Structure 1
Amino acid sequence: MILIVDDIKANLIALKKILELQDLEVEAAESGEEALKKILKKEYALIIMDVQMPGMDGFEVAEILAGSNRTKNIPVIFLSAVNKQKNFIFKGYQTGAVDYITKPVDSDLLILKVKTFLKIYQQQNELLVIKDLLSKEIEIRKEAQENLEIKIAARTNELVTKNEELELKNHELQQFSWVVSHDLKEPLRKIQMFIHIIKDNYLLQDDKAKDYVNRTVKAAERMQNLITDLLEYSRLSATVRPEKVALDVLVHEVITDNDHLIEEKKATITVHNLPTIMGIPSQLRQVFQNLIGNSLKFTKDGVPPIINIRSERIAKRSLDSEIQDDGAYCRIFIQDNGIGFDEQYLSKIFMIFQSLSDRKIYEGTGIGLAIAKKIIEKHQGLITAKSQVDAEATFILVLPLQLNN
């Protein structure tokens, strides 16, 4: 059961409708005081609460919940249309909230977070049950006969280890809860749906059955690509020793890896004067693979792709830095003549699971540019892009020649 708290009734009705469409049980309270009364009478798995309310505000309610053993583990998500400053957000987390979302609310993102925190809450409760069982098991073993002490110790150690593993998995779930998203589940649902259709309606080898099978295979491929990209994204947190990387050589290797697609699309790729820098070769290869791959993918019908990659030395870590022949940074341009994009969505393209193009036409997972951004930032660099719809797109990288410790 979810409790939503807001002093504006229209907000309650809208939010309640969004959650109920996901088959979630919801109750509403129009003030902090009413919310506390409901919480005293009933167990809630999640509370979504406005910050600014007459009487008792959201922060006060959260502090009261955090001070009670019965309610301190209930996840609280703050919603605010007014208090968007960093100090209010910081205070929200200080009072024990698990998230602070500013209005207007993206309903898809809210649903994703709600389902994730509900699952975390459920697992935390399961963990508490296991801890309780562990304590009882230890007490029972302590009362057993002396000749069973060795077995008791072994069993207890095993239970403690299992408990630690569960706590670790719970922590990992909180760290990577964003993985549980619609894009990850959607291919699986399609696989299940089409397989059932084939099983129930198309037992003979006719054209329609083949079509469903082909769709199932495509869905499985998308799922595999998504999982692969997610693994690549998660691995970026690992610490790897940097080494000298000749970007000119690295980019030509990426071009060679894509020679079949380049030949198929009759693409022309030119590479000019790329420097040697300190970095992690496999990760930098991934950046250029994603950027060149996008330039080859997002092309105009009947227009052979033309991709130009060049660099220049600059004075400082800035996208607009002046050119300096002996500068400590390089600025790299990857320019193409593809379909482009509207620059008002520039920040969106580097977010995980975001794609500005129709995935029915241009297949992809929406993770490639997020991976590129994370790698560039890990290399103490910057990345941006300039483009127009139906015109060329230029991705700009700024990277240091030497990495700071």
Structure 2
Amino acid sequence: MILIVDDIRANIIALKKTLEFHNIDVDTAESGEEALKKILKTDYCLIIMDVQMPGLDGFEVVKILSGNKKTKDIPVIFLSAINIEKKYIFKGYETGAVDYITKPVDTDLLILKVKTFLKIYEQQNELKVMKELLSKEIKIRKEAQENLEIKIAERTKELVLKNEALEFSNHELQQFSWVVSHDLNEPLRKIQVFMGIIKELYLVDDDKATFYINRTIKSAGRMQTLITDLLEYSRLSSKVIPEKTDLNIVIQEVISDFDYLIEQKNAIVTVDELPVMDSISSQLRQVFQNLIGNSLKFSGKVETPQIHISSQFIKTKDFDAETDPDGQFCRITVTDNGIGFDEVYLDRIFVIFQSLNDRQVYEGTGIGLAISKKIIENHNGMITAKSQLGKGASFIMILPINIQ
């Protein structure tokens, strides 16, 4: 709405009709004092003000409006037929008016200016609304961010405390494992020794008793192996710093350990060139011992068991990744021509105490592959297998060349 302020009623009526003809809402005041009262009660988007009026003139009214926080931004156009000299026009702008129009008035120009100020007023209101919405949004986001930071800090503190408790528990568990393994191994050793003495001294001529004694000694031996494997598994939780390791040396040491069994089974073990990489050599040695040992154990009835160990540099940490001479990962595969297994049970073979074969035929504790998987994961790697019953198996490992 526009406010017209003029002490001559005829001027107000003429200007009001002109503006209303262009669908512009108009309010009027016939003095400066009346105008001030209305301006304080109503929001106007523009004021068209006569300069010379009895009481408060136009300059004085605008000066009062400029000093008020609520009204200082209302645009004012001075409209005068008397005060048309430059000094009055300058004074009009100095007091805070946005325009100074002298009579006779060009109606089209006046309407154009009025519509322009109305458009500016609308845009200012839109900006004001957007500013308020933006301020609210910033406030909401700031509060959300503060709440998130508080929650993150609380969660971090909670995780640190839990991690400390877990490390303490792991340490306690390792200590417990050592004590238990010692306490369990000692009576087992005595059982084996005394059973051996009884067998040699008192049961030489009793075949049936000797059979049962041998089974007891064998069971005690399996229990001892199980305890040893469990102890090895628990040790994997302790932190060890990796070092540069030549896997060619590691694999030759493992093959050397199996010399007798390889010769006994007439097996052939071939090895490609393996990389030098960051690792805990003793742990990777255990992995190769488990895998090569399994290949020899589960060779079945083949005349010549064959075990092949190969390696390739690859681009990414993926079992099917492309080869790349400059790759930062290595794919190591241990392949044999033994009895194999059904891939339906792939997930089971890496679980502790799981075995797919008859333990009366193939001795073992079912821990070896679980240990291997944990070691590979400790090296930020992955392990899987591919196989078919009666057609051998391939165990595939992905390991980073450098451990950060």
TM-score (norm 1): 0.51
Hey, what does 2:222 align to over in structure 1? Answer: 222
Hey, what does 2:333 align to over in structure 1? Answer: 333
Hey, what does 1:393 align to over in structure 2? Answer: 393
> Is the 2:307–2:336 Cα contact (8 Å) retained in structure 1?
yes
1:297-340 Cα shifts (integer Å, max 9, x gaps): 00122422100100000011111111111000000110000000
Structure 1 residue 275 corresponds to structure 2 residue 272: no
1:12-64 Cα shifts (integer Å, max 9, x gaps): xxxxxxxxxxxxxxxxxxxxxxxxxxxxxxxxxxxxxxxxxxxxxxxxxxxxx
Hey, what does 1:239 align to over in structure 2? Answer: 239
Hey, what does 2:322 align to over in structure 1? Answer: 322
Aligned pairs for 1:292-331 (under 5 A) are 292-331=292-331
For the residue of structure 1 that corresponds to 2:219, the secondary structure is helix
For the residue of structure 2 that corresponds to 1:346, the secondary structure is helix
Hey, what does 1:370 align to over in structure 2? Answer: 370
Q: Which amino acid aligns with 1:325?
A: P
> Is the 2:170–2:237 Cα contact (8 Å) retained in structure 1?
no
Q: Which amino acid aligns with 2:362?
A: Y
> Is the 2:204–2:210 Cα contact (8 Å) retained in structure 1?
no
Q: Which amino acid aligns with 2:248?
A: D
> Is the 2:341–2:389 Cα contact (8 Å) retained in structure 1?
yes
Provide the aligned C-alpha RMSD in A: 3.1
Q: Return the alpha-carbon distance in structure 2 between the equivalents of residues 206 and 400 of structure 1.
A: 59
Distance change in 2, residues 1:318/1:265 (3 Å) = same
Aligned pairs for 1:5-404 (under 5 A) are 172=173, 205-404=205-404
Distance change in 2, residues 1:371/1:208 (3 Å) = same
Offset of residue 264 of structure 1: 0.4
Q: Return the alpha-carbon distance in structure 2 between the equivalents of residues 316 and 283 of structure 1.
A: 23
Offset of residue 205 of structure 1: 3.6
For the residue of structure 2 that corresponds to 1:399, the secondary structure is strand
Q: Gaps (5+ residues) in structure 2?
A: 1-167
Q: Which amino acid aligns with 2:384?
A: T
1:113-172 Cα shifts (integer Å, max 9, x gaps): xxxxxxxxxxxxxxxxxxxxxxxxxxxxxxxxxxxxxxxxxxxxxxxxxxxxxx979974
Return structure 1 stretches of 4+ with deviation > 2 angstroms. 167-173, 202-205
Q: Percent identity?
A: 59
> Is the 2:243–2:278 Cα contact (8 Å) retained in structure 1?
yes
Q: Return the alpha-carbon distance in structure 2 between the equivalents of residues 236 and 230 of structure 1.
A: 10
Q: Return the alpha-carbon distance in structure 1 between the equivalents of residues 171 and 399 of structure 2.
A: 36
Offset of residue 248 of structure 1: 1.2
Q: Gaps (5+ residues) in structure 1?
A: 1-166
> Is the 2:302–2:338 Cα contact (8 Å) retained in structure 1?
no
Q: Which amino acid aligns with 2:370?
A: A
- Bigger radius of gyration, 1 or 2? 2
Counting matched residue pairs gives 225
Offset of residue 288 of structure 1: 0.3
Q: Which amino acid aligns with 1:215?
A: R
